[in-house]
Structure 1
Amino acid sequence: MLTTAITGLAFTSSSLLPFASGVRIFPNIDGSLSLQDSYDYIIVGAGIGGLVVANRLSENVSVSVLVIESGDLDDRAEDISIPGNIGLEDPRRYEVKLEMAPQEFLDGATRVFTQGKAVGGSTIVNGLVWTRGSAADFDAWEHLGNPGWGWMDLLPYFRKSENYSTQVDNKSTRDIPIASHPAINKHGHEGPIEVGYPNYFYNQSYNFLNGIQKLGIPATEDPNSGNATGACIVPSSMTAKNQSRSDARTAYLDPVLERPNLHLVTGHTVTHILHGEGSGRFPNSTYTHGVSGLNVTGVEFATNKTADRITSTCKKEVILAAGSIFSPVLLQISGIGPANLLRNLGVDVVVDLPGVGSNLQDHPTLEPVYDYASPDVFSAWDIVGSMRDTVREEYLANRTGPWTAPMVNAVALPVLSWITNRVQEVLDDAANATNDLPSSYDTTLRTGYAAQQAELLSLLTRTDTPVYEVMSTSWGQLAISAMKSFSRGTVLANSSSIFENSQPIINPRFCSHPVDCELLLLGLEFNDRLIQTPPMAALKPMPPPGFGIEEARNKTALDETMRRKITTGFHLSGTTSMLPLAYGGVVDPSLRVYGTRNLRVVDAGVIPLLPGAHIQAAIYAIGEKETGRRYHQGGKLGGSSWRKAMAWEVPRPTAGIT
């Protein structure tokens, strides 16, 4: 028996030890955790992808699973769990601050953003918005060389992940666009993630929806039906009954804490992916028989730069779920990535894979706040002092009131032809403008981008997928996000050590394709028309400096102001893209890393083309589909619960989705 003392905790390793007591989170009551010499599966990261895969794999009691997470368990405090507190949490608790490279196509300044660092990942701190995207967005994935990843293929897994409810207590007597009886073949009602609506709606949400409709954009009851366009009260990842956050931890980990074959290590960072040529120690360490390539044998991890390294080996696979920033960085410092970059880092090139860290995409976003000067307006900013005590008491007693309302209640998702009569001009600009791709892009990445651009141009002409999103908050923010971004960037390691890569080189290169800024300008012009509609004018909205009506008439000045304000939409994706090798891809349609036998990625990095939506729903579906693939290929992953879950997915819908 081998015992290694790490930061005062006792880790016991022995291949002869049975799994004794299920999941253990550091630190235990007794200060120890039993680890095996090896696991069937090692999962790096406990965000959406990691926890979905861990849950589904461990349904098979004969399969051993280890999850390694650098963050900790959150404390379920009010600033995390209550929708009305979104954005007010202390970012030092469960978030990591990251800095982007100077944005040369904007104003030359950097942008700082945060992402979740906890069990559950960013689902612990996100804005709860639950949108899937349009069918056409996912059909584009299939068109890019990913058979089995179109809308109809993903729909069962969207449904499998969600428990969708339209229950709304204390509903206003005014009509609100919520589908009271959503089509059963479009939504799930037995999945782990609770999806629902708040028990309170700010009046401003109605003004927004009515104003949007005055401009010819229709209301929609269900933005997740396959056609995401229109204006709506948006569903959230929250429980209808308790009116609290539903996240990856509460949905996929907490219910299975007693499984003896699932271990979770927190507060530890994976430092290296271990590998060997040929079959290595475990000759059967792959589900894809006959596949040649690098054999991954396990991982190395530690608490910090100076701590002793711990090694854990895998019998079957290592699954990366560290997110679109740190999964590619970990691949790069482990010798899998662009050869030139690896050599510059002093890392031996194990698999020359140019796409690792490239194809970075985001939804560039503007967040103007139009101050509502009407004295009748009540907003989240008014919940202070004694009012906060009153609102808190109502929430805790009845699960009603303003604290049930998340940051974003209402959204609009217009198509290009709804917001401008210059459609052909915009399409020509998108097709003909010079796009400054990163100099590091090789021929395959440029070929892949050309294929993506063709899909994007096709999507812009459609009337069932949005060109941008407008998000309305109670306090006057009308945030605009470009849903069809043509710009591409990179995520690059800056050192061979993961601990020196706490700030990798992150460069989304916003507006490196000029049409992205053109689309955001159209959004600002639309906002200007929106606030002049009678429903919105009743709020007496006052535009922020630089975005007023007079400024809107000076396109040059407005563009300059806009470029100073563009920031991330928190949807960074694509850095380990699911694309053919000839398109600069990193993983194949089974999410296996090219050039390896048993290494997969299951996080936002595999998204080949961003859908016109917030991306948490898509990542849950990706995780479900990855494990569902094993089931359909004849694996033994899961018993009655898996068979039951798959049963209600059949028959697949064959009509009614556009």
Structure 2
Amino acid sequence: MVRSTSALLAVSVCLTSVALGAHLHGRDINEPLLESYDYIVVGCGISGLVVSNRLSEIASRTVLCIEAGDADHYEAIIQDPVYVGADIGGIYDWDLETVPQTQLDGNTRPMPQGKVLGGGSILNAMCWNRGGSDDFDAWEAFGNPGWGWAGILPYFMKSETYTPVYSDEIAEEYSIHYNPAVHGTSGPVQVSYPKYFYPQSINLFAGMNLLGLPTQFDPNDGTSAGPAFVPTDLDPNNQTRSDARRTYFDPYVSRSNFHVITGQHVTRVLIEGTGGNGEVDNPTSGGNDNGNGPASGNNDGFGFGPDGSTPPLSGQTPPRFARRQDPGTSNLRISGVEFATNASALRQTVYATREVIVAAGALHSAQLLQLSGIGPESLLNQYNITVALNLPGVGNNLQDHPLVGTFYPWADNNASYPSPTELTTNATYNLQAEQEYDTDKTGPWTAGSPNGLAFNPLPLISNNSASILSNASNQNPTDYLVAGLDPTIIAGFTAQKQSLVTRLAENTVAAYEIINNNAGSLTVSVMHPFSRGTCYIQSADPFQPPAIDPRWLTNPVDRQILIEALLFNRQILAAPPMVELQAAQFVPPVDADEDALDQVINNGIRTEFHPSGTLAMLPLDQGGVVDSHLLVWV
């Protein structure tokens, strides 16, 4: 389930004119470009559209957002909640996959990413839940002022229009409560609840309550530990998806200063100057641009701030790059971006007078910087890419939530509990549900998301938590990392590891998640993994996907947490409220030993669609790529 936005990387550039074509809302979104733009945003997903929208609020600023995918056509598979997940692997997915996971079963895994105007918000499970306050406070503690819970909460609230559940009876029955002090009432994204509730969540929460896990009062108030029924990004009136495109672009398409082009793949950012690694070619002196040099103005460097608040929205011109303590003779600046429709098409360039913001997700943002000459020097040399900036953190520190599915179906044994599987196995039932949705916007078709979730702390579900965390603390930092990493990457992981050990010992920090699909699955996923992976280019060809290696469970602590989670599932299923569901089958079996559970894990690991960390917001000496203003270190 995609809930949170990948780290934004900001980049500053300058643009040119180019003619393209395609229509949306009666005007060309791919209309001829202006001679120059103040800001270019690479990637029109969640981050990209939010940033583009905010920057274009001031009419005197011109903003261009460049998206590799196309705009959707308001298909039911996107808009109707019942189809959640059905468009993964379809035309709006990048169709990426990992490298073989030799530490598991040796197979590759899909790594879905939105390739569409609106990005991952078009594909995701629509669950609207924030991380715990502890997570954001930990960000701040790593040298990022303003990124703690208190600093981020106003922006969470700014983004949403929250509509409480429509029935007091349902609210009480499903323990759906909310704190109005942490919710917005006038933001672009509609946040609400479906017009149908499967009763299994009641049993699940009651069972966990008996086992000592209290239900969260409000899963979005920063205390996200324990079971909770989470809201969704769902329009409460028409019960359709409230995604980034429909909230941050469609209502503002008439802004003459807000341009979007789709179907255009950015192949590199254009860099001028020197950065201590030798001269960088001037990208405007030749090649396939449109004959226009950089527009006059401030060709500033990488830079952007949280929610567009600083530095661009402050009215100040940001520095070219964030500075190291000894910047030396570096005078690097970004002058534009290069893009093309496909590998055989003519490369075109466009320039910015102020900034380029790279918001292409954790995987493609790292790839783009590496292709542009910003990244680990040894990697760039391998593909004969001129090194503009040797920045070891780019593409390292990849983190993801590893997920393992389970199967405890109960519908066949107990007909009094309706199951979403009936929508695919019972044509009459599905037709009635479809008619109810079309006519009244109620019924099972509104309840596509797995809303009954639990974020469980390790000490509350396992007697082995102290031992597991002690083992983690005593690890040598290099024991389970990729060999040959730059010392700064190792230093960053060392600091992260100690933070994780300290926090996961608390009863208020989730070690893993349970996802209840109401059909008999209590899927488990590690929330704070110790394993670290990589995302590296495997060619100088920008149209060849990067080598994505999440390295799930390479650190044994993550595997131990999954084992404890699967064992705790047995306790949940044995609790009297869950026994009422009469599970017909147990996968994994209730008598499976640790070796058998290991096999289930090795074969079953998948992504929960949350890759992050490849452009870490950390100090430079800890493998950081950007500072707390999301300016790239130079």
TM tier, smaller = 0.7 to 0.9
In the alignment, which of 513, 518, 523 is matched to residue 474 of structure 1? Answer: 518
User: Per-residue CA shift, 1:185-210, capped at 9, x if unaligned?
Assistant: 31111111111111111121212112
State the SS of the aligned residue for 2:616. coil
* 1:379 corresponds to 2:419: yes
Report the alpha carbon displacement of residue 328 of structure 1 after superposing the two structures with TM: 0.5
CA 1:112–1:91 in structure 2 vs 1: closer, same or farther (change >3 Å)?
Answer: closer
What is the one-letter code of the residue matched to 2:524? Answer: I
Given that 2:173 and 2:202 are in contact with CA atoms closer than 8 Å, whether structure 1 keeps it comes out as no
Q: Which of residues 480, 493, 507 in structure 2 aligns to 1:463? A: 507
Comparing 423-432 and 60-69, the one that deviates more: 423-432
Conserved 8 A contact 1:26-1:265: no
Distance (whole Å) between structure 1 residues aligned to residue 142 and residue 404 of structure 2? 29
Partner of 2:468: 426
- Give the 3-state SS of the residue equivalent to 2:94 in structure 1: strand
> How many pairs align?
571
Deviations 1:495-514 (A, max 9, x none): 1121123xx11001111110
Partner of 1:549 in structure 2? Answer: 590
Q: What amino acid does structure 2 have at the position aligned with 1:207? A: N
Q: Secondary structure at the match of 2:124?
A: coil
Partner of 1:650: none
Given the superposition, is the C-alpha separation of residues 30 and 403 from structure 1 closer, same or farther in structure 2, using an over 3 Å criterion? closer
Is the deviation greater in 523-532 or in 273-282?
273-282
Q: CA deviation at 1:567?
A: 1.4
- Distance in 2, Cα, partners of 1:395 & 1:453: 48
Are residue 214 (structure 1) and residue 210 (structure 2) matched? yes
Q: What CA distance in whole angstroms lies between the structure 1 residues aligned with 2:550 and 2:530? A: 11
* Mapping 1:621-632, distance limit 5 Å: none
CA contact (8 A) 1:168 1:198 kept: no
1:374–1:538: 8 Å Cα contact kept in structure 2? no
**2:475 is aligned with 1:436:** no
Written as runs of structure 1 = structure 2, the 5 A alignment for 1:498-577 is: 498-501=542-545, 504-545=546-587, 547-551=588-592, 554-577=593-616
**2:251 is the counterpart of 1:261:** no
Q: Does the CA contact (< 8 Å) of 1:233 and 1:409 recur in 2?
A: yes
Match of 1:227 in 2: 223
Q: Which secondary structure state, in structure 2, belongs to the residue aligned with residue 207 of structure 1?
A: helix
8 Å contact kept, 2:526–2:558:
yes
Q: Which moved more, 1:78-87 or 1:36-45?
A: 78-87
**Identical amino acids, percent of aligned pairs:** 41
Matches within 5 A, 1:579-618: 579-595=618-634
Equivalent of 1:403 in 428, 436, 445: 445
Unaligned runs of 5+ in 1: 10-23, 596-658
Residue 113 (str. 1) matches residue 152 (str. 2): no
Matched position secondary structure for 2:203: helix
Correspondences of 1:54-453 after superposition (within 5 Å):
54-89=52-87, 91-168=89-166, 172=170, 175-179=173-177, 182-277=178-273, 281=294, 282=296, 284-286=298-300, 287-289=317-319, 293-372=331-410, 373-376=412-415, 377-384=417-424, 385-433=427-475, 435-453=479-497
CA contact (8 A) 1:371 1:541 kept: yes
Q: Does the 8 Å CA contact 2:131/2:224 hold for their aligned counterparts?
A: yes
Q: Counterpart amino acid of 1:585? A: G
Post-superposition offset of 1:301? 0.7
Shift of 1:30: 7.6
Q: Mark the CA change 1:397 to 1:517 in structure 2 (over 3 Å): closer, same or farther.
A: same
What SS does the corresponding residue of 1:166 show, helix, strand or coil?
Answer: coil
Which deviates further from its counterpart, 138-147 or 511-520?
Answer: 138-147
Q: 1:131 to 1:5 in 2, by over 3 A?
A: closer
Matched-pair contact (CA < 8 Å) for 1:41–1:314: yes
Conserved 8 A contact 1:25-1:266 = no
What SS does structure 2 have at the residue aligned with 1:479?
strand
- The offset of 1:278, in angstroms, is 7.1
User: In the alignment, what sits opposite 1:619?
Assistant: none
Give, in whole Å, the separation in 1 of the partners of 2:399 and 2:17.
44
Q: 1:329 to 1:31 in 2, by over 3 A?
A: closer
Q: Check the 8 A contact 2:537/2:547 in 1, yes or no.
A: yes
2:270 counterpart SS class = strand
RMSD (Å) for aligned C-alpha atoms: 2.1
State the secondary structure of the residue aligned to 1:92: coil
Q: Aligned partners of 1:561, 1:283: CA distance in 2, in Å?
A: 58
The residue type equivalent to 2:148 in the other structure is G
Helix, strand or coil at the partner of 1:67? strand
| CA offset digits 1:437-474 (Å, max 9, x no partner) | 11242100000000101110111112222111101012
Question: Per-residue CA shift, 1:342-395, capped at 9, x if unaligned?
Answer: 000110000100000000001111111211132313211101422222111111
CA deviation after TM superposition for structure 1 residue 421, in Å: 1.9
User: How far did residue 155 of structure 1 move?
Assistant: 1.0
> Aligned partner of 1:371: which letter?
P
Of 132-141 and 91-100, the range deviating more from structure 2: 91-100
Give SS of 1:499's match: coil
Q: Is the 8 A contact 2:132 2:223 kept in 1?
A: yes
| CA distance in 2: counterparts of 1:103 and 1:293, whole angstroms | 41
Match of 1:611 in 2: none
> Does the 8 A contact of 2:336 with 2:350 survive in 1?
yes
1:151 Cα deviation (Å)?
1.0
Q: Aligned to 1:319, what secondary structure does the other structure show?
A: strand
TM-score w.r.t. structure 2 length? 0.86
Mean alpha-carbon deviation: is it higher for 43-52 or for 233-242?
233-242
The residue type equivalent to 2:421 in the other structure is W
Q: Distance in 2 between matches of 1:398 and 1:27?
A: 27
Aligned AA (2:571): R
Contact 1:80 1:125 in 2 (8 A): yes
- Do 2:19 and 2:31's aligned partners in 1 also have CA atoms closer than 8 Å? no
Question: Per-residue CA shift, 1:160-184, capped at 9, x if unaligned?
Answer: 11111213259548622111xx333
Instruction: Report the alpha carbon displacement of residue 277 of structure 1 after superposing the two structures with TM.
Output: 1.1
Cα displacement (A) at 1:284 = 2.1
Shift in Å at residue 3 of structure 1? 8.0
Letter in 2 for 1:55: N
How far 1:148 moved relative to its partner?
Answer: 1.7
User: TM-score normalised to the size of structure 1?
Assistant: 0.83
**Shift in Å at residue 398 of structure 1?**
1.2
Conservation of the 8 A alpha-carbon contact between 1:336 and 1:352: yes
> What amino acid sits opposite 1:514 in the alignment?
P
Give SS of 2:421's match.
helix
Q: What CA distance in whole angstroms lies between the structure 2 residues aligned with 1:190 and 1:319?
A: 26
Q: 1:223 to 1:30 in 2, by over 3 A?
A: closer
**CA apart distance, 1:25:** 4.6
Q: Which blocks of at least 5 consecutive residues in structure 2 are unaligned?
A: 1-15, 276-281, 283-293, 301-316, 322-329
Which stretch shows the higher mean deviation, 189-198 or 275-284?
Answer: 275-284
CA distance in 1, matches of 2:601, 2:137: 32
CA contact (8 A) 2:413 2:584 kept: no
Match of 1:329, as an amino acid?
A: Q
State the alpha-carbon separation in 1 of the partners of residues 18 and 507 from structure 2.
60
State the distance in 2 between where 1:437 and 1:457 align. 17
Call closer, same or farther: CA 1:383–1:229 in 2, change over 3 Å: same
Residues 577 and 587, structure 1, Cα contact 8 Å, conserved in 2:
yes
Summarize the Cα distance change of 1:344–1:27 in structure 2 as closer, same or farther, 3 Å threshold.
Answer: farther
Q: Which SS does the other structure have where 1:210 is aligned?
A: helix
Q: 1:195 to 1:96 in 2, by over 3 A?
A: same
Contact 2:570–2:590 under 8 Å retained in 1: yes
2-structure distance, mates of 1:405, 1:165: 16
- Cα distance change of structure 1 residues 64 and 563 upon mapping to structure 2, 3 Å threshold: same
